[in-house]
Every structure is written in C-alpha cells, then in structure tokens.
Amino acid sequence: MSTKIFDVAGKLTDYLLIALMIMLLSVVTLGMVTRYIFPGLFVWTDELTRFTLVWVTFIGAAAALRRRMHLGVDIVVNLFKPRLRAFLRLLSQLMFIFFILFMLVSSAGLIRLTYNQLSPALRIPIALAYSVMPIGVLFMGIFVLHQMTHRRRDEG
C-alpha cells in the first residue's frame, strides 16, 4: 500500500475528526444553553448529537488504528519467538481484513434499508448517520493494509 495514500487518509481522518468534535461540542453547548433559555426551540440538537457521535466513533476508531492505539493484550504473544509473533500479528491483521469486508457488506445493507426513513427532528435520511460505517471501515482497511506491508522493526 502506498505511503502517500496512507498519509492522505490519515490527514483526512484527523481533519474530519477535528471538525466533528468541534461540531459535537457546539451542538451540545447549544442544546444545553437553549434548553433552559428557550425550551423546545431547538429540538434537533439531541438527534444531531447522536448522529455526530456515531461519526466520531467510526472515524475515531480508524484514527486510533492508524496510530496503533487500540487496546491489545500482548502478554501471551510476547512469550513467543519473534517469527511466531510476526505470524500471529499477520494472522490478526488478516482476520481484521475479513471483519472489514463483513462490515462493508453489512453497512451497505443497513444504508439501503434506512435510505427512505427520515429522522424525526432533522428530517434527513437515517442512512446519513449510517453512511459513516463504510467510510470508517474503508479508512481502517487502508491503515491495516499499510501496517501489513510496512512492518515495524520491533515486530520481527
């Protein structure tokens, strides 16, 4: 996998995550302030907060994968010799690729199923909230493929 693709995808996830977090903070603040000053005026803030949080979850998971920040229990793997350890890491990454493929197929079905359903407050297709699933897992796929093709020295 090209390092340029990896870098562009990494920057894109970072900028998207920053924008989503600013949006989340703004909408939650607006919702809190207006709930007490103008009750019932902005009923859409809770819904937009939920949708934004779904987006932050998937894009944030991809960003964490890029930086190898996901929780992992290496105590058993580290007991093995470096060659077996490298094989187990490769096996883990291959299983993750299959998970990504499963998520792509599943999310496409979910988006098709919810495309005509409108959210109660915002009146936008529910599929818009779910559309982050294939986007997030595509980013994850880019990052795990890059990790598979660019092993770190300490991995053996």
Residues 118-136: pLDDT tens digits? 999 999 999 999 999 999 9
pTM for the model: 0.88
pLDDT digits (tens, 9 = 90+) for 38-48: 887 888 999 99
| Amino acid in position 113 | L
pLDDT digits (tens, 9 = 90+) for 64-95: 999 988 877 778 888 899 999 889 888 999 99
User: In the numeric block, which tokens belong to residue 85?
Assistant: 């350890």
**How many Å is the maximal CA-CA distance in the chain?**
64
Q: What is the mean pLDDT of residues 42-70?
A: 94
User: In the numeric block, which tokens belong to residue 55?
Assistant: 């987006």
Give residue 154's pLDDT. 47
